[in-house]
Structure 1
Amino acid sequence: MIYKIRIILDAEEDIFRDLEIEASNTLEEFHNSITQAFGFGGSEMASFYTCDEDWNQDEEIALFDMSENGSDVRLMNETVLDDVLSEQSPKMIYVYDFLSMWTFFVELADMVEKEDGRSYPNVLFSFGELPDAPPEKKFESKPSMDFDDSFDSYDDLDFDENWN
């Protein structure tokens, strides 16, 4: 089975690539296809994240296990594409280069039979040029509590001046 997948850069401008890849490929092979399609060197850390219909991030599938004691993190080279992408769960998030945070929305568009004589993975369509730097993320934050720093005197707070 061949998956036709659209990978969209999280940006105001439309920048995307349509790839076709075998459903039996690993996420590491898919990662390599994405980096090549967008012109990245491919040497930076990256992760896929499963998500729901509203793009709410769930489980991480990492390129490498960076934990000190070998955690339960799923790895790209051990995860097959059709284990995480299907008609029932057609969306994932892909983050490349954790210092720059290139973020992409990955969506399964179609599933077709493999064509004889055609090589996969294959870039079907390319739209838009990748900017020199990743788009800025705008995070909205609300303070979790109000903090009143209007103490006139700290003498009432029962601190021991010689605590050490």
Structure 2
Amino acid sequence: MAVYRFRVCLEENEDIYRDIDIRTVQTFEQFHNIIQDSFKFDNKHSAAFFVSDDYWRKGQEITLKKEDLPLDEDEIRKNVDPKKLMADVKIAKFIEQPHQRFVYVFDLAVQWTFLIEMIKIADESPKVTYPVCIKTFGTAPKQYKQINMAKEELSPDLAMAGLLNEPEVEEEEEEIYKTIDTGEEAVEEADIKSLEGEEGDTDVEDEHADEEDAGDFTFDEEEDH
């Protein structure tokens, strides 16, 4: 039995990709599960495949969950084809050319988008359990990116997607203020005035001493002449 080999690239960085082999009779749900496993995502959100043309334009939608099958008003107005369920559709049903393309979208609130292209048709190996990731290139991005925004600023979809990492609130440490006793005795106002008076007397005595020294110096100069 034939095996399809698909290259699954991250849309925002095509240097990150996984090559996956899947049997022609296996379903899109099995394809979805191996993509989740190969990129180490948690497989907890809605997802959908879209049959694509050579320009990555989305066509027929193949969705993961039954509750996503009904068309909304906008899709009805645009005459969109009825959605199909991954578990019910085999891969071979939508292989129309040797390089068939699909667009895969996971977590509709965040829109993780992958571009898928068939790169080879090989023979099935009895020793391999399919589907299987046969090549990994590039480090897969973290599924949940931290957003530093207030919770009320996030849309309900983003908040439910688990993107908000609320910082832990630390309790404020209680500051204890202590009254420090210096042990110094208070200085009375009378003592202050007394000290000021003594300083004044000292200044007067210093002035007289300076005048006497100046007189002596002048006298000595006259004697020299």
By how many angstroms is 1:59 displaced? Answer: 1.2
Whichever structure has more helix as a proportion of its residues is: 2
Corresponding residue of 1:98: 108
Aligned match of 2:215: none
Q: Tell me the distance in 1 between the aligned counterparts of 2:14 and 2:69.
A: 39
TM-score normalised per structure 1: 0.75
Give the equivalent residue in structure 2 for 1:126: 136
User: 1:101, 1:109 → 2: CA distance?
Assistant: 25
1:24 Cα shift?
0.6
Higher mean Cα deviation, 14-23 or 110-119? 110-119
Root mean square deviation of aligned Cα:
2.3
The answer to whether the 8 Å contact 1:51/1:91 transfers is yes
Q: Contact 2:69 / 2:85 at 8 angstroms: preserved in 1?
A: no
Matched residue count? 135
Which whole-Å CA distance do the structure 1 matches of 2:117 and 2:134 have between them?
14
Q: 1:18 to 1:116 in 2, by over 3 A?
A: same
Structure-1 separation of matches of 2:144 and 2:121:
30
What TM-score, normalized to structure 2? Answer: 0.55
The alpha carbon displacement at 1:66 in A equals: 2.3
CA contact (8 A) 1:5 1:106 kept: yes
Structure 2: runs of 5+ lacking an equivalent? 73-81, 146-225
Q: Percent identity?
A: 28
Tell me which residue corresponds to 2:168: none
Check the 8 A contact 1:101/1:134 in 2, yes or no.
no
Partner residue in 2 for 1:56: 57
Structure 1 stretches of 4+ with a deviation exceeding 6 A read 68-71
Q: Which has the higher contact order (CA 8 A, sep 6+)?
A: 1
1:103-122 equivalent positions in 2, closer than 5 A: 103-122=113-132
The structure richer in strand per residue is 1
Q: Unaligned 5+ residue runs, structure 1?
A: 136-164
